[in-house]
Structure 1
Amino acid sequence: MSFNEANAKGVKQPHNDPLVIMLTIEGFNTKRILMDNGSSANIIYLPAFQQLKLDPKRLSSFDSPLVSFSEDRVYSRGIVTLTVTVGTYPMQLTRQLDFLVVDCPSSYNVIIGRPTLNKWKAATSTYCLKVKFPTDNGVGEVKRDQVLARECYQAVLAANENHTWMIEEKEEGKMEALETVELAEGEANKTTKIGMTLSPEMRTRLIQFLKENLDVFAWSYKDMPGIAPEQRRRVFAPERDQAVTDEVTKLLTAGFIREVYYPEWLANVVLVKNANGKWRMCIDFTDLNKAYPKDSFPLPRINQLVDSTAGHKLLMFMDAFSGYN
C-alpha cells in the first residue's frame, strides 16, 4: 500500500484537517468518525451509542480509566463489541471491534484508535486524508469528509475537547519497600510503615512528625469515640456505584467540588432515577437539617412601628412583600 499525489485529488490544499470518515456500524451508516493514531482505545460516545439503539445489557464492565494528554480522567460506562464494516464491496472488511462507551461531550460520534488500525493492517495519510487497508480482493480505501472534518475541528477548539484517550495502565509488582516504625515505646502494637527510599534527614523528620501526632491514629474501636456504633457504611449496587463515580469524577474535573474532611458529620449520597433512565445523584441533608433548625423569624404584621427611644413613628412599607398576608 502506498500514497501518491493522485490520492490527494479533491482534497483542498493546504490543510491541517483531521481524518474524519464514515463507517457502517451495526448496519447503520455512521458519520463523524475520527481516525486517531494517537488513541490507544476505540471510543463510542454515549449519544451515538443511544442513537444506534444498542441494548445497554451488551455492555461489559471496564475498570481502567481513560487519560487524555491534559491528564483528564474519565471512566467509561463499559465496553461493547460492535460489527463494523469499512470500505465498499468487494474491497471491504467486516470485523468485530471493541469500543469503550464514554459519557462526555464530543463533536465526534466515534474514535477509531490504534487497536482497529492494527487489526485492519491499515495505513493512513493525513495529507491525502485517506485510509487504505488490504482485503482478499485488493486494497480497499476510505476517503475523507473534509467539510465535516473542519466543522468538527472548529467545535473541538471552541469547546476545548479532549479526543485522544489512553488507557491508564496499572503497574504491578512495583510497590516501594516499606519498613515498620514503632511510634510508642514499649507498645509493639502501635506501629506504622514508611518507605525505605527516604533520605536519613527526611526519615527522622517523618518519624518525629508521626510521633507528635500519635493521637490521630486509631488502633482499635475504643480509639474512635466520635463514631456512632449504629453508623453503617452505605453500599450501592454496581450500577449505582458506577453512576456515583461518574458524577463525582465530572464534578472534580469541572472544579465544582473538592475533597474535604469532616470527622463529625457526613451526608449520604442518594440516587434517584430520572425519566430518561439515567441516575441523578443527590445529597441527603436530613441530619444537617436536624442539627441546624430553620430560623422562624416572622415578618411584622403591622405597617407602623414605634421607636421607643427616639419617640418617632417609623413607617414600614410592605411594597417589597406584595402578597404578604
Structure 2
Amino acid sequence: MVDFVVVDCPSSYNIILGRTTLNAMKAITSTYHLLMRFLTEYGLEGRDRLDFHRAEPTEALEEVILGDGEPEKKVSVGSLLPPSIKDELTQFLRKNRDVFAWAHEDMPGIDPTIMEYHLNVNPNFKPVRQKRRTFAPKRNQAISEEVEKFLKADFIQEVYYPEWLANVVLVKKANGK
C-alpha cells in the first residue's frame, strides 16, 4: 500500500515515486526510455520485450535563432506556449545569448575550482593499466577531433608517463553523431 498526494496542476509526469516506494515495488526505471518495469502477482508489468523505444515529447518544439546571421546559434522552445510568454522568453534568450557556449572554444580558461574531475581512487590499491584498444579509422578520427577540441579549449592537458590508462568510450549523441 502506498499513500499518494494528488495535485491538480499541469506536469510532464503522470506520477512521482520516491526511492522507498520504487524499492518496495522492486521497480526498474529508465529515464532515457521514460518507462518503468515492476513485478506484479501476474508477472512482469511493462513492456514484454527489452527493445525499448524512446518516448516522444509532449509537444512539438520550435527552433528560435538567437544570433543575427548565425543560424547555428539556436534553441528550442515549446510550441504550446502562449504567444506573450514565447515572445518574452525569446527576447530574454536573445538578450542573454552571450552566456551560451556553442562550441568548446567559447569556454576557454574556465577556473578549475568551478568544475574539475578527480578519480576516486583508493590509495591502498595499485593502479592497473588497461591494454590500449585500437579503433576503426572513422572512430579514431572522431576521437582525435574531440581530443583536439579539448586541448585547444584548454579543457584537458597531456600527461606523460601515466601510471594508468583509461580507454576512450564513444557514445552517440542524440543527433546520431
- TM-score (normalised: structure 2): 0.39
**Comparing both chains, which one has the higher relative contact order based on Cα–Cα distances under 8 Å and sequence gaps of 6 or more?**
1
Higher strand residue share:
1
- TM-score (normalised: structure 1): 0.23
Higher gyration radius (CA): 1
